[in-house]
Amino acid sequence: MVAMDDLLSTKEAAALLGVGPTAVKRWADAGELACLKTAGGHRRFRRGDVEAMRRSGNASETDDLETESDRWIEALLNPRQDQVYAVEGLLLQARAQEGAWYRVAERLGAVLTAIGERWQRGELSVLDEHLASERLARAVGRVVAAMPTGPTMPAALLVTVVGDDHTLGLSLVELCLREAGWRVLWAGRATPVEEIATHVATDAVRMVAASASLHSQDQQALAHWLAMLGLICREHAVHLLLGGSGAWPEPPAFGTRIRNFRELASYLAGAKQH
């Protein structure tokens, strides 16, 4: 019989090991850390087992990026009412550490990948994935709203390809653009190419950033959409950037393929000079 004082909750075990609760849950599910289940299905860990893992050093072998993902996911799924403010605080802390928003965006890209992988493994529900994405988007929006902007800044139009509803990556792109001195216009989801053309022609847009997520795998459809958009951008001498994990044509007939935020920062540094 195990004394109740010797049993730790997931959060208590995580604190003792110096990791996030998600890491503890993963180790328990993988059989790396023994656990008991309460009648309500909650995990409980013997203090001796947790201390033995801490002494062995196995907990410290977790990859730094994965540990960071654990921390972000725990923050994004924490049910407190001030959740958006807490995530905003994490964003600002990361910016202070990294010195540039594109570096923060690189780190968050790894977090988003981890969320998707854990959803695929059944560790997160569809609701969890949606909540985490929505809370991160709202926090990013608060940070962006506090950044300076003005009518004399060059304008960039952000769009997703037709049929793609995933805009969180574009929210991170906006952080990078704003820090680089760009004014941002959101076309967002399902905007017809004809309307994008109107914006490009009338709003002095100097750049269009188009996103295709992992869910956009119809290369023929992407090539057709890109051909129409590319002609518009070429006619008006507008930069066209193609981001995300979608099945963009390789190489694209129009535009510049951007595969990560470091590439985006490098491109932006040169684009404002032309």
CATH assignment at residue 52 = 1.10.1660.10
Supply the range of the domain harboring residue 237: 155-271
In a domain, 96, yes or no: yes
Same domain, 119 and 50: no
Same domain, 174 and 243: yes
Same domain, 132 and 240: no
CATH assignment at residue 200 = 3.40.50.280
Task: Give the residue-averaged pLDDT of 35-64.
Answer: 77
Q: State yes or no: pLDDT of 22 exceeds 80.
A: no
pLDDT digits (tens, 9 = 90+) for 216-247: 889 999 999 999 999 999 999 999 999 998 99
Same domain, 267 and 178: yes
Q: What pLDDT, on a 0 to 100 scale, did the predictor assign at position 80?
A: 66
Same domain, 238 and 170: yes
Same domain, 195 and 113: no
Domain end point (choices 101, 123, 145): 145
Q: What pLDDT, on a 0 to 100 scale, did the predictor assign at position 5?
A: 61
Q: State yes or no: pLDDT of 4 exceeds 80.
A: no
Contact between residue 241 and residue 267 where contact means Cβ atoms under 8 Å apart: yes
Same domain, 43 and 20: yes
CATH assignment at residue 126 = 1.10.1240
| CA distances (Å), origin 34, targets 61, 62, 267 | 18, 17, 49
In a domain, 150, yes or no: no
Give the global pTM: 0.75
Give CA torsion, residues 159, 162, 167, 173, to 10 deg: -30
